[in-house]
C-alpha cells in the first residue's frame, strides 16, 4: 500500500521544522564548546599561580647557587683548615711512629761483601758537632763507635729557659742511644769518658762513668773525631769555681733552680729591709753574651709573671744584675739591636754593669773593677757564670802530644777539619777547636758535623778505589781506576762556614734577630721576632719528640704559669 503524497503546505512545514532542529543542535554544540573553553580557562587560571611559583622558585634556586663572597671565603677557609689539620695529624702520627719504630740496622762487620776492610770510626762527645755527624753519616760505611760521659744530646739554645721552668729540662734532651738506633748501620755507644788519646798507635783509653772502680777500656780506630766540647773558663779568677753556678749542663740548671728557691725561702724568714735579706734576693749574672742575656731575661720574666702572683712581697725586692766586661752586651749583634736590648733591659729594671771586670768572688759578694778603676762589691744570693770557654783535660793532653798543636785556645785544624799533625786519621769539631773565622757556637758545630758526614762518604769511596787497585790485574782497568782515584783526591772540598744569623730572647716576649741571606743582612726586634725565635728553635730540634715536648711546655706555661717549687 502506497502512502498518499503530502500536501505542499505540509511539505513546507516539515522543511522548516528540519531547519529548526538543525539550528538547535548547532546551538547545543556551540554551548558545550563554550562551556569546555570556560572550564579550560578556569583551570589555567587556577594553576597559573602555581606555575609562576614553580618558575620563580626555579629561578630563585639558580640565584642561590651563587653564594655571597663572605660565605664562600668562610667555606674555603674551613675546608682548607680541615685539610691542613688532617695533613698535620698524619705527619705527626708518621713522625711519632718513625721515631718509636726505627728500621732494622745493618750489623757491624770486619769486612765488606767485596772483601775490603770496614774501617772503625770513633766519635768522641755528644754535643752539636758529634750528634749532627752521627745523624748525617751513613753508618753502614763504617764500624761507628760513640764515646761520651753524657748519655744525651742537650739542646743548649733553650738551656737558659730551664732553671725557671719555662721549658722542662727533659724536653731539651735526646738520648744518644735513640739517635744511634735510628741510624741505618749499627752503632756502638760507650757511656764513658776518654782519658787518653794515642795518635801514633791510633788507640784511645776510656773510663766508664757508671762505676768509679770500672776498668779502663782500650779502643782502636782508623778515624777519630774529637768533639768533646769545652768547659767553663774562669780566667783564673779566685773563688769562681767554688761559689758560682755555671750554665752548660742540665745539672747546672738544676743547681741554679735549687739556689733560687732556697734564697727565696731563706729571705722570707728574715725581717724586711735587713742587709742579709737584700743579699739573698740579689741575683747576679756574669757574661753579656746570648747565654747570660737570655738567662737574665728568663729570670726577670719568672719574677714579674709568676713570683709576683704567689709571693708578691718578695718579688718586688728581687734584683737582677748583668755584669759585662765589654762596653756593651751582645757584642756579635748589630749596633741597633744592641741598643734596643740595653734599652729594654733598663726599662724592665735589669741592672747593667758594663765595663766591669770581676776581680774575685767569695761566698757572699763579687768584687769588680769598674770603668773608672773604682772597686765595687756586689752582694749576691745567686751568682751565675755564663762567660768563657776552657779546654778539657783530654784536649790539653792531646795538644801536648802533637808538635804542631802550639795554641792554648784549642785544637788547631785545617780547612778540612783535620787535626794538624795527624791529618790522615784525626778530625776535630766544635768548641774544642780553634781556627780563624770559626767561633765556638752551635751553628758552627752543626755545619761542621754535616760537612764531616760528606767527607767520610768521600773517604769511603777513596778506600774502595784503592782496594780495587790493589786487587786488579787488568792493566786497562788499572789505568781507569788510577784516573778515578786522582779525580777523587782532587775533588774534596774545604769546609766553608755560612753564617745564617743570631737570635736572642730579651724577655717580655720580645727578641732580636740578626739574619744573613747571601750577601744581604736583615735585623728585626720585638714581639714578631719573638715568634720567629720560637719557630726557629723548634725547627732546630733534632727529633720530633723534642719539638712536641717544648711546644707543649710553652703552651702549659702560657696557660698555667711556671712552677714555683723545686
pLDDT digits (tens, 9 = 90+) for 410-441: 999 999 999 999 999 999 999 999 999 999 99
According to DSSP, the β-strands at 143-147 and 120-124 are parallel
Burial label for 466, CB within 10 Å (0-12, 13-18, 19+), is: middle
Banded pLDDT at 249 (limits 50, 70, 90): very high
User: Are 253 and 347 contained in the same domain?
Assistant: yes
Tell me how far CA of residue 478 lies from CA of 114, 460, 486, in angstroms: 17, 19, 12
Q: Nine-digit cell at 22?
A: 538543525
Give mean pLDDT, residues 125-136.
97
Contact 182, 199 (CB under 8 A): no
- The pLDDT value recorded for residue 75 is 87
- pLDDT of 231: 93
Is residue 194 within 8 A of residue 396, CB to CB? The reply is no
- Identify whether 154 is part of a domain: yes
Which of 453, 473, 488 is a domain's end point?
453
Q: Within this chain, do residues 374 and 404 fall inside the same structural domain, yes or no? A: no
Is the domain of 413 the same as that of 521? no
Mean pLDDT of 458-487: 92
Assign residue 12 a region: left if phi > 0, alpha if psi is -120 to 50, beta otherwise? Answer: alpha
Higher pLDDT, 271 or 518: 271
Q: What is the pLDDT of residues 15-73, one digit of tens each?
A: 554 555 454 455 444 555 545 545 554 554 454 454 455 544 444 444 455 678 888 88
Classify residue 145: in a domain, yes or no.
yes
DSSP states of 404-454 as a string? T---SSSEEB-TTSBBTT-TTTEEE-GGGEEBTTB-SSHHHHHHHHHHHHH
| Other Cβ atoms within 10 Å of 125 Cβ, number | 28
Strand order across the beta sheet in which 520-526 lies: 501-507, 510-517, 520-526
Asked if residue 160 belongs to a domain, the reply is: yes
**Residues 6+ away with beta carbon under 8 Å from 499:** 443, 516
Q: What are phi and psi of 435, to 5 degrees?
A: -155, 135
Q: Grid coordinates representing 493?
A: 772540598
- Residue labelled with grid coordinates 660565605: 71
Last residue of a domain, one of 438, 453, 468: 453
pLDDT for res 161: 97
Do both 209 and 276 map to the same domain? Answer: no
Same domain, 209 and 330: no
Query: Which one is predicted more confidently, 518 or 238?
Result: 238
Task: Quick: pLDDT tens for 380-410.
Answer: 999 999 998 999 999 999 999 999 999 889 9
212 with 273, same domain: the answer is no
How far apart CA 559 and CA 500 sit, in angstroms, is 33
Q: Is pLDDT at 214 greater than 90 in this prediction? A: no
535: domain CATH number? 3.50.50.100
- Could you tell me whether strands 282-286 and 319-323 are parallel, antiparallel, or unpaired per DSSP bridges? parallel
527 near 507, Cβ under 8 Å?
Answer: no
352, three cell numbers: 747593667
Given this model, what pLDDT does residue 498 score?
Answer: 93
Distance (Å, rounded) from C-alpha 557 to C-alpha 158? 15
Same domain, 415 and 342: no
Q: What pLDDT score was predicted for residue 158?
A: 97
Q: How far is residue 385's CA from residue 69's CA, in Å, rounded to a whole number? A: 60
Residue 445: inside a domain: yes
- Domain-located, residue 72: no
Task: Compute the mean pLDDT over every residue in the chain, rounded to the nearest whole number.
Answer: 89
Model-level pTM?
0.84
Q: What are the cell numbers at 34?
A: 563554550
Cα end-to-end span (Å), the chain: 147
CB 480 within 8 A of CB 136: no
Q: Give Cα 268 to chain centroid, integer Å.
A: 39
Radius of gyration of the chain (CA): 42
Q: Are residues 252 and 378 in the same domain?
A: yes
Q: Between 489 and 9, whose confidence is greater?
A: 489
pLDDT at 9: 44
- Per-residue model confidence as pLDDT tens digits over 2-28: 444 444 444 554 455 455 545 445 544
Question: Are residues 359 and 424 both part of a single domain?
Answer: no
Q: How far apart are CA 340 and CA 360, in angstroms?
A: 31
344 domain residue, yes or no: yes
Give the structural domain span for 258.
Answer: 245-387+500-560
Same domain as 330, residue 275: yes
The pLDDT tens digits of the residues spanning 137-154 come to: 999 999 999 999 999 999
Q: Detail the DSSP E strand segments found in 324-401.
A: 350-353, 357-361, 365-369, 375-379, 382-385, 389-390
- Rounded to whole angstroms, the Cα distance separating 220 from 205 reads 9
Number of domains comprising the chain? 2
The total number of residues written for the chain in this structure:
566
Per cent of the chain over pLDDT 90 is: 76
564: closest CA among 259, 261, 294? 261
Task: Answer yes or no: is pLDDT of 306 > 90.
Answer: yes
298: nearest Cα among 174, 356, 384, 378: 384
The arrangement of strands across the sheet holding 426-428 comes to 187-190, 143-147, 120-124, 223-226, 426-428
Q: Which of 418, 435, 453 is the last residue of a domain?
A: 453
Say whether pLDDT at 160 is over 80: yes
Residue 85 is assigned to a structural domain of this protein: no
Asked whether residue 55 is domain-assigned, the answer is no
Query: 565 falls in which pLDDT band (50, 70, 90)?
Result: confident
Q: Which of 45-59, 224-238, 345-359 has the lowest mean pLDDT?
A: 45-59
Q: For the residues 120-145, what does the mean pLDDT come to?
A: 97
Residues 250 and 381 in one domain: yes
- My answer on whether 228 and 286 are in the same domain is no
Amino acid at each position: 500500500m502506497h502512502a498518499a503524497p503530502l500536501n505542499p503546505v505540509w511539505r513546507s512545514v516539515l522543511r522548516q521544522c528540519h531547519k529548526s532542529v538543525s539550528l538547535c543542535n548547532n546551538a547545543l554544540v556551540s554551548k558545550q564548546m563554550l562551556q569546555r573553553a570556560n572550564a579550560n580557562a578556569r583551570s589555567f587560571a587556577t594553576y597559573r599561580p602555581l606555575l609562576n611559583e614553580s618558575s620563580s622558585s626555579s629561578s630563585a634556586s639558580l640565584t642561590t647557587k651563587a653564594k655571597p663572597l663572605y660565605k664562600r671565603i668562610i667555606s674555603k677557609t674551613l675546608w682548607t683548615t680541615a685539610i691542613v689539620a688532617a695533613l698535620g695529624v698524619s705527619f705527626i702520627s708518621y713522625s711519632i711512629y718513625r721515631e718509636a719504630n726505627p728500621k732494622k740496622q745493618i750489623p757491624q762487620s770486619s769486612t765488606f761483601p767485596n772483601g775490603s776492610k770496614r774501617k772503625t770510626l770513633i766519635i768522641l762527645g755528644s754535643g752539636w758537632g758529634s750528634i749532627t755527624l752521627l745523624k748525617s753519616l751513613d753508618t753502614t760505611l763504617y764500624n761507628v763507635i760513640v764515646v761520651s760521659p753524657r748519655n744525651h744530646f742537650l739542646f743548649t739554645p733553650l738551656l737558659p729557659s730551664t732553671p725557671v721552668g719555662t721549658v722542662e729540662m727533659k724536653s731539651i734532651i735526646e738520648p744518644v742511644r735513640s739517635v744511634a738506633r735510628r741510624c741505618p748501620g749499627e752503632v756502638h755507644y760507650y757511656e764513658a769518658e776518654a782519658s787518653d788519646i794515642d795518635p801514633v798507635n791510633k788507640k784511645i783509653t776510656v773510663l766508664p762513668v757508671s762505676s768509679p772502680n770500672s776498668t779502663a777500656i782500650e779502643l782502636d780506630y782508623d778515624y777519630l773525631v774529637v768533639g768533646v766540647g769545652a768547659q767553663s773558663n774562669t780566667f783564673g779568677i779566685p773563688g769562681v769555681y767554688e761559689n758560682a753556678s755555671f750554665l752548660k749542663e742540665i745539672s747546672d740548671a738544676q743547681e741554679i733552680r735549687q739556689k733560687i728557691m732556697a734564697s727565696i725561702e731563706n729571705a722570707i724568714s728574715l725581717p724586711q729591709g735587713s742587709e742579709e735579706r737584700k743579699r739573698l734576693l740579689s741575683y747576679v749574672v756574669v757574661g753579656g753574651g746570648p747565654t747570660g742575656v737570655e738567662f737574665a731575661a728568663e729570670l726577670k720574666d719568672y719574677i714579674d709573671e709568676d713570683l709576683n702572683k704567689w709571693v708578691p712581697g718578695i718579688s718586688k725586692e728581687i734584683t737582677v744584675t748583668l755584669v759585662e766586661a765589654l762596653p756593651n752586651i751582645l757584642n756579635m749583634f748589630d749596633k741597633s739591636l744592641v741598643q734596643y736590648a740595653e734599652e729594654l733591659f733598663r726599662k724592665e729594671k735589669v741592672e747593667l754593669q758594663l765595663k766591669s771586670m770581676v776581680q774575685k768572688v767569695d761566698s757572699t759578694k763579687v768584687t769588680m773593677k769598674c770603668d773608672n778603676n773604682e772597686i765595687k762589691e756586689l752582694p749576691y744570693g745567686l751568682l751565675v757564670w755564663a762567660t768563657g770557654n776552657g779546654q778539657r783535660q783530654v784536649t790539653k793532653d792531646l795538644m801536648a802530644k802533637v808538635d804542631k798543636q802550639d795554641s792554648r785556645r784549642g785544637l788547631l785544624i785545617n780547612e778540612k777539619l783535620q787535626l794538624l799533625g795527624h791529618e790522615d786519621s784525626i778530625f776535630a769539631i766544635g768548641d774544642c777547636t780553634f781556627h780563624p773565622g770559626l767561633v765556638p757556637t752551635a751553628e758552627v758545630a752543626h755545619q761542621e758535623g754535616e760537612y764531616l758526614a760528606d767527607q767520610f762518604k768521600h773517604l769511603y769511596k777513596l778506600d774502595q778505589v784503592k782496594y780495587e787497585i790493589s786487587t786488579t790485574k787488568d792493566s786497562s782497568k788499572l789505568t781507569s781506576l788510577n784516573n778515578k782515584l786522582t779525580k777523587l783526591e782532587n775533588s774534596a772540598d774545604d769546609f766553608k762556614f755560612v753564617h745564617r744569623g743570631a737570635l736572642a730572647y730579651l724577655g717580655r716576649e720580645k727578641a732580636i734577630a740578626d739574619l744573613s741571606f747571601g750577601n744581604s743582612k736583615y735585623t728585626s726586634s720585638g714581639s714578631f721576632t719573638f715568634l720567629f725565635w720560637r719557630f726557629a728553635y723548634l725547627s732546630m730540634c733534632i727529633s720530633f719528640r723534642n719539638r712536641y715536648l717544648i711546644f707543649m711546655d710553652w703552651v702549659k706555661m702560657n696557660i698555667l704559669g711556671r712552677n714555683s717549687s723545686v
